[in-house]
Structure 1
Amino acid sequence: MSLFPKMSTVSHQVKSLQALTTTLLRGGRGNMGPAHPIMPEKMLVLYEHEACPYCRRVREVMTHLNLDYESRPSPHKGHVYRDELKAKSGKTQVPYLIDANTDTQLLESQDIIDHLYAHYSKQGSTPKRYRVDNGDGATLSNKLASVTSMLRGVKAAHPKKNKARGKPEQLLELYSFEASPYSRLVREKLSQLEVGFINRNVARERLQDNGLPGLHLTLGKYEPIKGGKRDRIMTEVMDGKLQFPYLIDPNTHTTMFESQAIIEYLDKTYG
């Protein structure tokens, strides 16, 4: 018998289709990234919440650069990180980036994106497709993508309980990438529960990495780029397996694959 109450498989499949719609509306952004990213020495910190279209722009770039970062979920009505954000910036506006490597704190999504490309990309400047020179950085497709997330809620799930519980002693780790619909569902749950985590981006590094879960556009046995980020994770973290999302909770010595199982675990442990 499972230790955690089972959520409806049908309900989870419906949510997965909604999450896939978000990916399709974004044209696959947040999918590909370099095998050998320029990783900052000190962890980037991002105050955000999953359904925010401006945060999504930043997360897509984080995947495009294959950068890891600490997510501090700050959903509407939340307090665990949202109060902290207001004390730091004077606002509860997200996204908000802290980069201790350059002693930088930034609020606007385009400023954050420009900063990331300036410091953590080989080209040193923002590509045209990730630049908005005038007006609202959240395009119509991005706002429509947010609607699908809003159907599943953008507020803190249990704000009083979340605040009373506080932050886990150690940050959880989530291996994912922005465009993965199954990873998105897990990030939404972490956001609703206001559970901070390290997002380990595992961007697809080449065309052959694309495909359905467990299936790739390659002949024979799948092998990631030798010495690349996926190769290291497959060897050092997942014991020869490569599947996302993958959760590590050092507080309970738990490791898990499968989005539905992870969500059930998070509800049971932090809900």
Structure 2
Amino acid sequence: MSTCKLIRTILVALALAFTALTPAVAQKQPQNGLLWEISGRNMTAPAYLFGTIHLYDTSTYQLPQPPFELLEKTGRVYFELDFGKINMAEMSAGMFITDTSQYINKLLDPVSLARLNKLLEGSASAKMLGDRVYTIKPLFVSVMLLGNEKTSSVDLELYKAAMSGKHAVGGLETVKEQMEAFNTMSIAAQTEALRQFLSNDLSGQEILSKMTAIYARQNITNMLKELEQFMPLDANTSETLVNKRNIIMTDRIDSLLQQQEHPLIAVGAGHLGSDAGIVELLRKKGYTLKNIPFTIKKAHE
């Protein structure tokens, strides 16, 4: 793989993955399930909402099959981003540190930096980036540490299936909007979050396996709280990265549905649960959401 293609792959994966590590907000009634049927509001056919995870360990669990099956039924899928229309220059500008005094290797304490370097030794992506890895913003570096040859992305696999089947694809957000949300957190605060991440004794593979198991349980009420153990973030960051984006995406989903589109909508599972999640926000707009239960199989079942 060329360095250019590698960096493109890294940037897309990192931009997607960070939402999975944001903290939870309170919810009065539990919600469970990753797949939801949307009806009501004079819709002539149902649409579907599916909660993805952006980094997924295929050595422990198979990819969830229902969303792939729904592609044939809906013929159209919307992700957080339309992967075919990503402006890499725009994404790169939002993910790299421009102030040389803020590079990760200059801000981390010696113990944390040594831990980071040890973990990066097992990352093929980091090896190809070389010292440029220290110029990537800390939150995205933490996500890079989770990747290996068995790492997949439910979003990207679903996108590839949609393109292979010649299904229509769209995005609910733009790269600019996502980068602006991520970059509301200062480099100093991101570095502290990375330091806490590095204080965990687990390897990147062990963390990824635990995250995948949490996702497979489909408890969207507690999912973010469980994931928060790997990278705790403050409430203000959660408000920007999750709650405000939930409102924007819900409004855009509503617009699509009122135009009588009946797509599959695939966004990070962290956006579904809680009173501020997309499931409840769509209900408040008058839609009926019904969970469609299914089981995610283990890798060797």
Please give the TM-score of this superposition, normalised by the length of structure 1. Answer: 0.31
Q: Comparing both structures, which one devotes a greater share of its residues to helix?
A: 2
Q: Which has the larger radius of gyration?
A: 2
Bigger relative contact order (CA 8 A; separation at least 6):
2
TM-score relative to the length of structure 2: 0.29
